[in-house]
Chain A
Amino acid sequence: MTIVTDPPKASFRVSQLIYDTRYRSITFQIAALIGFLILIGWLISNTAQNLADLGKEPSFGFLAEPAGYDINQRLVDYDNQNSHLRAAFVGLLNTLLVAVMGCAAATVLGVTIGVLRLSKNWLISRIMTVYVEMFRNVPVLLWIVLIMAIIIETLPQPRDFRGADPQASMALFDSVAFTNRGFYIPEALFSRSLGDIHLFGASAMRFDVSLDLLALVAVLLAGLWASARIKRNADAVQEATGVRPTVWHFRLGVVFVPLLAVLVLLGFHLGYPALKGFNFQGGTHMRNSLIALWLALSLYTAAFISEIVRAGILAISKGQTEAAAALGLRPKRIMNLVILPQALRIIIPPLISQYLNLTKNSSLAIAVGYMDITGTLMGITMNQTGRELETVMLGMLIYLLISLSISLVMNWYNNRVKLVER
């Protein structure tokens, strides 16, 4: 008897696509992809068809038309004859403003609270626990509305500052006014200003950058760089001789002397708010809506950040501290050189999502009439032009871009922190 040992012929049958585990998953993926594409195609054609039936073909032409409405908080020049696109840009800058302010404040607050919650002081750590639970467990919208209501109902109106015997008066040597329309604070003025540079010509994205500010930032950065050089030199001397030269006054000097010099050269002075007509004029007006939104978003997000920070620090095993102590490091250095660099690696990724959350939550601005991108483009513009689909898609695209940029920057930072690991 002979045994046939020929290898089976490599014939391919269609049924293998389903029954053969080598092909099955690919088959299913392709089928799913086709189904998905058909669904998208159907949705697009259905939407287009329905819009056409309504006589509303999608078009972005409305963006070039005059907006016709005014916006109270403008970081760039704008009036009601500018285009809807310009109005959207004003709104976008307002979104970015509150997002940046919110992320900064939430980080400072969150880190402080997170560290304090680990404090050995029973009272402090309990108070921080209460804070975290209070802010974390109430929807942020309620905090926004509550803070706005408190500002509006409890602070005096500008009218109360008037008269021989006013009911309210300005704070801090008459330099700051806390009113229910917002806070009026002194503004920086330059009597020998360098002027502005105008970016992007006459387009809807045009904006002015103050040369004074640029000069100040440049001098500050140069000072910090010089200060870092001095420190490095001192480190080198210490390494070579074992004696560290005293340099802190040089380091302070290179930062502050040039800065002061530039301020004097530019004729820096403060402009104080003063009651004139219906409102305070001069100074910077931080509107009640901005304050309410900023405070609520920061306080709320800080609660989450503090938990992230606490978790990050707790995740570093006690042995690390002990080992560092055994090497003779002082507690402060242990924190800075051993614990924090490792904790940061754990902290940063969830921190990114908190920043993203804060930015997206800023669209709740609508509740207090803060004119962000949701209030302008997806609010008034949408309502006045009836372009729901276009404005919402554009708005989503913008939030997507903002979020992706934040992720990009934070991921870059995360990678830098990661390199600390050896």
Chain B
Amino acid sequence: MKKSVFLGALTVAGLAAGAAAAGTLDDVKARGKLNCGVTTGLVGFAAPDANGNWEGFDVGVCRAVAAAVLGDPQAVEFVPTTGKTRFTALASGEVDMLARNTTWTFSRDVDLKFDFVGVNYYDGQGFMVPKALGVSSAKELDGATVCIQTGTTTELNLADFFRKNNISYEPVPIETNAEGQQQYLAGACDTYTTDASGLAATRASFENPSDHVVLPEIISKEPLGPLVRHGDNEWGDVVRWTLNALIAAEELGITSANIAELSEGTNNPEVNRILGTEGNLGEMLGVSADWAKNAIMAGGNYGELFEKTIGENTSIGLARGLNAQWTDGGLLYSPPFR
């Protein structure tokens, strides 16, 4: 018994580590499908619709990568992961990439051996409380019961915040956003804390969103972005530049409406290089020449994707804020395509 458990663990570890070897790009092409790790369901970011089709902001990134590599935005196998299972899923090779509200931190990058390829949403941690509680600042939460998702940066920031402000709290650890929502609405916790975007998305799915407020304090920096395994730089490049293509497309005015026309050829060389009518960026990346065109057509450029899934005209209603282009005072800044 003792031995078999031990062996089993080693086998799992051995297989897991074995599958993590390089060559993801070839694997994906051979498989004809991208395995993309997303959340278990966060409306606006990644959630299946009534027909079981995944949609959302993070899902858009997955589809863009699939379109860039395979030419088909539908060739994605979405793998729902919780805050806790996501890293094991990526490290073991169960998914090729994660696009799932994951904060870029030092230890995840360096110690957990992942590569964050960029940031698709600049966020920060906030608190949501029922209006009836009469709380207007997070500093008034002394003694409160707080719902948090385990295995997240949220849980560490929370500990730091309460420690810094010398107040106490009672953590209620939960696995998924859905569970957190249930406990919060039943009053099993006074406040729910996670990334502010996640709070907005969660609140939007409530029956009476206006009964709840998100407190003004943002207690951390949460740059959320897609990530891949450390050490497979070719694959990392593909995901990184797909994301950059979406961002650059917005900056350069390439939209899903005009992309067909622009790919006939324009007099802007950078647009031509992105769309593959000039130069050989696709070849360098190991994908087809029209990779970026396919990626942008999958769900529009960054701005279009944002407006469609989480923007101000959706029920989630997030403003661009930090996530505007640098030319509009935001932080989005794609390195040049040349």
Which residues of A approach B to under 8 Å, CB–CB? 39-40, 43-44, 46-47, 50-51, 53-56, 68-72, 80-81, 152-153, 157-160, 180-181, 276-279, 281, 288, 366-367, 369, 371, 375, 379-380, 383-386, 388-389, 392-393, 396, 400
Q: Does B306 contact A (CB under 8 A)?
A: no
Q: Does B30 contact A (CB under 8 A)?
A: no
Residues in B whose Cβ lies below 8 Å from that of A70:
155, 158-159, 169, 171
The distance in angstroms between the C-alpha atoms of A392 and B169, with both chains bound, is 29
Given contacts A43-B11, A50-B20, A400-B5, 20 further A-B contacts (CB under 8 A): A46-B14, A46-B17, A46-B18, A47-B13, A47-B17, A54-B20, A69-B156, A81-B163, A152-B188, A180-B186, A180-B188, A276-B143, A278-B141, A279-B143, A369-B173, A384-B151, A385-B111, A386-B107, A386-B111, A389-B9
15 contacts between A and B (CB under 8 A): A43-B11, A50-B18, A51-B13, A53-B21, A55-B230, A68-B160, A70-B171, A152-B188, A157-B187, A160-B187, A375-B150, A379-B150, A384-B151, A386-B108, A386-B113
State the Cβ distance, A391 to closest chain B Cβ, in Å: 11
Pick the most buried of A71, A276, A380: most chain B CB atoms within 10 A of its CB: A380
Partner of A69, one of B18, B143, B155, B169: B155
Residues in B whose Cβ lies below 8 Å from that of A384:
107, 151, 156
The distance in angstroms between the C-alpha atoms of A379 and B142, with both chains bound, is 27
The distance in angstroms between the C-alpha atoms of A181 and B186, with both chains bound, is 10
Residues in B whose Cβ lies below 8 Å from that of A278:
141, 143-145, 190
Residues in A whose Cβ lies below 8 Å from that of B5:
396, 400
State the Cβ distance, B164 to closest chain A Cβ, in Å: 11
Q: Does B7 contact A (CB under 8 A)?
A: yes
Residues in B whose Cβ lies below 8 Å from that of A400:
2, 5
Q: A181 touching B13 by the CB < 8 A rule?
A: no
Restricting to B104-126, which residues have a CB under 8 Å from any CB of A?
107-108, 111-113
Q: B151 touching A379 by the CB < 8 A rule?
A: yes
The distance in angstroms between the C-alpha atoms of A168 and B33, with both chains bound, is 55
The distance in angstroms between the C-alpha atoms of A158 and B132, with both chains bound, is 13
Restricting to B152-192, which residues have a CB under 8 Å from any CB of A?
155-156, 158-160, 163, 169-175, 182-183, 186-190
With both beta carbons as reference points, the residue of chain B lying nearest to A39 in the complex is identified as B7
Q: Does B284 contact A (CB under 8 A)?
A: no
Q: B13 touching A388 by the CB < 8 A rule?
A: yes
Q: Does B84 contact A (CB under 8 A)?
A: yes
| A53-B21, A380-B151, A386-B112 given; A157·B186 CB < 8 A | yes
Q: A383 touching B151 by the CB < 8 A rule?
A: yes
Partner of B91, one of A152, A279, A367, A386: A386
Q: B84 touching A379 by the CB < 8 A rule?
A: yes
Q: B143 touching A50 by the CB < 8 A rule?
A: no
Q: Does B88 contact A (CB under 8 A)?
A: yes
Residues in B whose Cβ lies below 8 Å from that of A40:
7, 10
Residues in A whose Cβ lies below 8 Å from that of B88:
388
Which residues of B approach A to under 8 Å, CB–CB? 2, 5-7, 9-11, 13-14, 16-18, 20-21, 83-84, 87-88, 91, 107-108, 111-113, 132-133, 141-145, 150-151, 155-156, 158-160, 163, 169-175, 182-183, 186-190, 230-231
Partner of A44, one of B10, B145, B189: B10
Q: B186 touching A383 by the CB < 8 A rule?
A: no
Partner of B175, one of A69, A160, A180, A369: A369
The distance in angstroms between the C-alpha atoms of A279 and B174, with both chains bound, is 19
Residues in B whose Cβ lies below 8 Å from that of A383:
83-84, 87, 150-151
With both beta carbons as reference points, the residue of chain B lying nearest to A281 in the complex is identified as B143
| A55-B113, A180-B187, A380-B155 given; A392·B9 CB < 8 A | yes
The distance in angstroms between the C-alpha atoms of A309 and B16, with both chains bound, is 44
State the Cβ distance, B147 to closest chain A Cβ, in Å: 9
With both beta carbons as reference points, the residue of chain A lying nearest to B159 in the complex is identified as A80
With both beta carbons as reference points, the residue of chain A lying nearest to B173 in the complex is identified as A369
Residues in A whose Cβ lies below 8 Å from that of B14:
43, 46-47, 50
Q: B186 touching A55 by the CB < 8 A rule?
A: no
With both beta carbons as reference points, the residue of chain A lying nearest to B158 in the complex is identified as A70
With both beta carbons as reference points, the residue of chain A lying nearest to B142 in the complex is identified as A277
Residues in A whose Cβ lies below 8 Å from that of B187:
157-160, 180
Partner of A53, one of B17, B155, B188: B17
The distance in angstroms between the C-alpha atoms of A44 and B155, with both chains bound, is 34
Residues in B whose Cβ lies below 8 Å from that of A277:
142-144
Pick the most buried of B150, B174, B188: most chain A CB atoms within 10 A of its CB: B188
Q: A288 touching B188 by the CB < 8 A rule?
A: yes
With both beta carbons as reference points, the residue of chain B lying nearest to A367 in the complex is identified as B175
Residues in B whose Cβ lies below 8 Å from that of A380:
84, 150-151, 155, 173
State the Cβ distance, B207 to closest chain A Cβ, in Å: 15
Q: B21 touching A69 by the CB < 8 A rule?
A: no
Q: B113 touching A43 by the CB < 8 A rule?
A: no
Partner of A375, one of B87, B112, B142, B173: B173
Residues in A whose Cβ lies below 8 Å from that of B7:
39-40, 43
The distance in angstroms between the C-alpha atoms of A39 and B10, with both chains bound, is 11
The distance in angstroms between the C-alpha atoms of A158 and B172, with both chains bound, is 15
Partner of A153, one of B21, B172, B186, B231: B186
The distance in angstroms between the C-alpha atoms of A384 and B155, with both chains bound, is 10
Q: B159 touching A68 by the CB < 8 A rule?
A: yes
Residues in B whose Cβ lies below 8 Å from that of A56:
113
Residues in B whose Cβ lies below 8 Å from that of A385:
107, 111
The distance in angstroms between the C-alpha atoms of A152 and B145, with both chains bound, is 14
State the Cβ distance, A207 to closest chain B Cβ, in Å: 21
